[in-house]
Amino acid sequence: MSPRDDLLKSFDLATDDPFIICWRDLDAHAATDELERLDTWVVWLAGRYNLDHKVTPPCWSHHGALVEELSALRTLWEASYLEDAAPSSPLAFHRELDLALRRLREWTSRMGCSRTEHRPEAHAKQSFEPESPSKMV
């Protein structure tokens, strides 16, 4: 159970409402837990919508952009099917799904990963790197 779940439980609030995940703020343990939860949903999504490795490669969890996109998509999906969601919410999800699938396909293509091969990302260097204090003298 996450600290958020503990807090919500202490206030007797539901813990299964959609929750926006800020991956940057998670410690290693919380990130692992969230990735496992997200993986369950991604497996469902891929099966339900017949997505292949060109959209969600087996190594998707090793690519920040894919994790962020899939996490945001899951949050929207969860919100779209809440009891008090607007009747048009599922359609809004599918509109966003179409756009998200395009981005996922494009990112996966650029990464070069396949069904059987993971290609680690080369991290882009910042365009501006401040000089170290010793070089500024």
Buried b (16+ CB within 10 A) or exposed e, 31-41: beebbeebeeb
Specify the pTM.
Answer: 0.75
Query: Across all residues in the chain, what is the average pLDDT?
Result: 82
Rounded distance, CA 130 to CA 124, Å?
16
Q: Locate 9 and state its tokens.
A: 């439980």
Query: Which positions of the chain have pLDDT values less than 70?
Result: 1-18, 123-137
Cβ neighbours for 84, distance < 8 A, ≥ 6 positions apart: none
User: In angstroms, rounded to a whole number, what is the distance separating the alpha carbons of residues 108 and 32?
Assistant: 22
